[in-house]
Structure 1
Amino acid sequence: MVLQRITVLGAGSWGTAFAKVLADAGRDVTVWARRPEVAREIRDEHVNSGYLPGVRLPDRLTATADPAEALAGAEAVVLAVPSQSLRANLTGWRGLLPAGAILVSLAKGVELGTLKRMSEVIAEITERPEHEIVVVSGPNLAREIAQEQPAAAVLACTDHERAVAIQHASAGPYFRPYTNTDVIGCELGGACKNVIALSCGMAAGMGYGANTMATLITRGLAEMARLGVKLGADPLTFAGLAGVGDLVATCTSPLSRNRTFGERLGRGETLEQAQRATGGQVAEGVMSCSSIRELARANGVDMPLTDAMHRVCHEGADPAKVGAELLGRERKHEWS
């Protein structure tokens, strides 16, 4: 299955960076941008100054603000919009999707209300079987990839051949994609790591150091793996790129919106102040902590860090007090 014509729906940081990866791998790529001025800049000047300033985009990458034009003849469609707006956007695009095109999800989250993973939302809205949907996960900070710093990703699909097709379409000198059939584990890892990155940011904002970060990362990994295994994921997935790989990158890098957002909360800013400071954007983990918390509760899974982030972000809890409560929890065996 050889793919040449690929459409990326969404011109944010990660959508643009992944479009660059595909174009650098020799594909013909069209990006759909919501704002016409962004589409014009990408098409005519080969830059996206609002999201990836200073990055030159390949000449074979073009853009449009017309979704019908973007999708015409696409052999694969990459969905690069935030998780909580995926349903609304995809509903509008549903009738334009070319029959047989592989659908690729870049979104990392669990939908509020339905508690569905992104591939489940895509399957529901498009009425496509889940084996036609490929999920991209891993330590993929958009700016570093756009700067062609070496990185890897995991492409998960229950149909291995479709994952391989996207693998061939995206592999290049600085981007190494691996395949996996564990869609559940890869999606939950990608969603949960945003919440754990919030906690690491809060700890940094409160002045804590490496011991605290390592504790939060490893205990966060433990609770995301508990949820994943309960829902049918392969536990080995959480030791890979979609688990510990994505977790380390998102929890430690200043390029991570979730980490920097959490750091502001840890310094005492309110959710509204942190949002204003980040240009009006809310980190994915702020929304996902609530849906992941409900998903865990519905399945009888203990996720104390996720619960703590929900309380700080949505119930006004003090980060310092929540941290003390976490340390004072009942003592137990590490793997229980």
Structure 2
Amino acid sequence: MKKLSKIAAVAALVAGVTVTAQAAEKNWRMATPWSGGPWLERDAQFFADHVGQLSAGNILVKPFPGGTLGGALKVTDTVKSGVAQISHNYINYDYGMDPTTALLAGHSSGLTPEEFMLWMYQGGGIELYEQYRMEKFDVVAFPCSILGTEIFLHSNKPVRTLEDFQGLRLRTSGAWAEIASRLGASTVVMAGADIYTALERGAIDAAEWGSPEMNKPTGFQNVAKYVILPGVHQSGGVLECQINKKAWNGLNEQEQNLLRQAAKLSVFDSWLAASYADLKAYEELANGPNEIVQLDPSFIEAIFEETRKWEDEYAAKNDWFRQVLDSQRGFKEQMKSWPQYRMQIGMAGQ
């Protein structure tokens, strides 16, 4: 927190400097997968604003909606090719190329947003992240937004137990599609824009998408009676900023560090903004006509057991997967003492 305070102080100081009319030395296009919403209009903009302030206007970043600079789900290719110098992206969109992305994006591992930040900045996670992205994808990348805990399901059927999950027609993607299938669900992969209609028409029984803030504007709650919690399939995660290698090598060391610090500030800003927005969004959901359903602890345990088997299988044949998994598991061992001296968030004075 002391480091973040120092960075924020520098940002405030630089923001107070009047930027001259002289053109920026670097004008960068930022590719994103987002058509709108908080990830484009708030989180990507956080990073762009911090870069502009910290560089005193010498580096300007302009975010573009998904599909503008290339395929919305091919942002890594857009950055590698140099069509965009930088991106705001979700690493798990590259899951088909390497499942290690799931560990770095967030999966049913039990890392909360706060734990992700601790692991990234104190537990060696961010070093692994940069090394992995460069070695496997030939781009510079580091976290620049935090993801909140998702809603487990918007569902037309109540789901509490493992038995309820059997044969459930579930829209999902990535690692959770594999694990949910192993647990008995009938998984369907579809674009986000198609979920509402599929739920409304009964083509699927349930869908997972995002946190309360992200799900509210989708209207899923209007066509699916049940809201299933907690989101153990995605208890936390990160979004990333990727930088084209040639563009990165064209920066001096100070500018490279500036971008890393802008990303770190943006992670903190996104955590504050999204966490607070989720409170209001969930309150409206809980006070609305939907029925809130809590997963049975035995089902949660079954999810974690199956996830561990899935992790072990990939770790046995993928060296990068094993490295990241070992780091996260070691961190989780450290975190076991946390509840012994720290109160659960929201429980003080209850």
TM bin (shorter chain): under 0.3
Pick the structure with greater CA Rg. 2
Alignment TM-score, normalising by the size of structure 1: 0.27
- Which structure is higher in RCO with an 8 Å CA cutoff and minimum separation 6? 2
Alignment TM-score, normalising by the size of structure 2: 0.26
